[in-house]
Amino acid sequence: MKKKLDELIANIDKLPNLFNVGILVLKKLDDPDVQAKEIAELISIDQALTTQLLKICNSAQYGFSRKISNLQEAVTKLGFKILKSLVFVSISQGVLRREVSGYALGSDDLWVNSITTAFYAKRIAELAHYRDPDTAFTAGILKDMGKIIINQYVQNSYKQIMEKVEKKRITFYDAEIEELGYSHAEIGARVAANWNFPDELVESIRYHHEPGGYEGGNKDIKKLVHIVHLADIMTIMAGSGIGADGMMYSPDMNTFDVLNLNSNYSTIEELFSELIDLQPIIEEMAGLANSDK
């Protein structure tokens, strides 16, 4: 039996309990008057979040001259902008490391896919001169959060969805919509909006499979939607945690134009050859998340 969209959304409020401290931290970081000490004290309430942030902060990626051993120092050295991205990483990996069998994703597959997309999105944002590459990183992390939410319903309808993919030669994403009446992207966006995430994150989640569907007038949001879409395509090319919905997935042909990448890259393959150099950093970040298992 198909679950109605509004009914499904109404039952999602339990999910933030998995990382309610993280959500509170993100809201506090938007307060221009908040102090580093206040942020550090709030993070310290959640032992897992504290451990994860310190672990990431001391990774080779940030390369501080000495080990960071307390939260207030970490918050001060990183700055609120980078900290916000890392909080999204920390609160997401606890959810995204689950098995998502409805999409043929094993344990950690969705997490590896998401962290890869995040790093690719940040680099593409830099190349496209997007105003905030760290927001692009966060958008890449969150793009598939809807998969966790509707995994059960996709799993129950997996056979029918695959039949549509094979018989109609359509994408898994389109078959998902035909069978369920909604997509993981729409669900993820609706939940993100309910949690008061910024509009640019909500829209990048909603349209990352079909960036041309965004018809709003905000040029920054349009650019971010295309950045996440392209990063998602690159992640599939890299074979990083791809599942069933990677089938028949093709890029929007206008993306290179929207991002003005044609002057430096004549093909997607040329861009991919640069992004693949990020693999050691991505593997380190994924390893940090896995090391507490």
Domain-wise residue ranges, the chain: 5-290
The string of pLDDT tens digits covering residues 28-81 is 888 889 998 999 888 888 777 787 788 777 776 776 767 877 888 888 888 888
Mean pLDDT of the chain: 83
What per-residue confidence (pLDDT) applies to 293? Answer: 46
Identify which of 48-52, 102-106, 109-113, 204-208 has the greatest average pLDDT: 204-208
138 pLDDT band (50/70/90 cuts)? confident
The string of pLDDT tens digits covering residues 168-199 is 988 888 888 898 888 899 988 988 887 778 89
What per-residue confidence (pLDDT) applies to 1? Answer: 39
3 pLDDT higher than 60: no
For the domain made up of 5-290, give the CATH fold.
Hypothetical protein af1432 (1.10.3210)
Identify which of 193-197, 258-262, 263-267, 283-287 has the greatest average pLDDT: 258-262
SS in 3 state form for the chain? CCCCHHHHHHCHHHHHHHHHHHHHHHHHHCCCCCCHHHHHHHHCCCHHHHHHHHHHHCCCCCCCCCCCCCHHHHHHHHCHHHHHHHHHHHHHHHHHCCCEHHHCECCCHHHHHHHHHHHHHHHHHHHCCCCCHHHHHHHHHHCCHHHHHHHHHHHHCHHHHHHHHHHHCCCHHHHHHHHHCCCHHHHHHHHHHHCCCCHHHHHHHHHCCCHHHCCCCCHHHHHHHHHHHHHHHHHHHHCCCCCHHHCCCCCCCCHHHHCCCCCCCCCHHHHHHHHHHHHHHHHHHHHHHHCCC
